[in-house]
Amino acid sequence: MFKNIDEKIKVLAIVSTIIGCLTSVVAAIIYWCDKLVLIGFAILVGGCLASWLGSFVLYGIGELLTQTTNIAKGIQNIQVLSAYQNSESTGNITKEMIEKIQAEVANDYETQKQERIDEDDYEDQKTYYVNEEDISTPNSGECPSCFSKISAEDAECPNCGYKLK
């Protein structure tokens, strides 16, 4: 019942938002049938907005629980590895357990790395191309490499040595 409570809270946030919005729609329709259009519209907008905003708090609590669980698991793995490395005798800690923890840590790292890549904004992934003519031609007396002042006669930038001609 209480296993994976973080995911259950997140699902509850989504379900409560949907139920709140549907209830607002039904209430608005009831008021519209009674010719109270303005009140019906206010209930529709206000109810949906309140349900949506309320879900932020509930979903946020679920996300906090997820992250806290991940942190606790990571700390536990670090403690086991530290105990293994600091003790001469392994005691209850077996080599298989250490390898399993190391594999979990590596897998978690790769998963989180992929999630960060997937979440990156499209703008961050764009490749920007620079026209070679813009680089090779000095623009308004500035070096295209370091932007220090140059004269039209300079063959290279006196500051960074960038070849201008």
How do the domains of the chain map onto residue ranges? 5-125, 129-165
The more confident residue out of 105 and 156 is: 156
Per-residue model confidence as pLDDT tens digits over 83-103:
666 665 555 566 677 777 777
Average pLDDT over residues 68-86: 78
CA 6 to chain centre: 18
Q: How big is the CA angle at 71 (ends 109 and 99), to the nearest 5 degrees?
A: 50
Closest CA to 102 of 119, 81, 124: 81
At 82 the pLDDT is 72
**What mean pLDDT, rounded, does the chain reach?**
78
Per-residue model confidence as pLDDT tens digits over 101-116:
777 777 776 777 676 6
pTM: 0.50
Average pLDDT over residues 58-82: 86
At 88 the pLDDT is 54
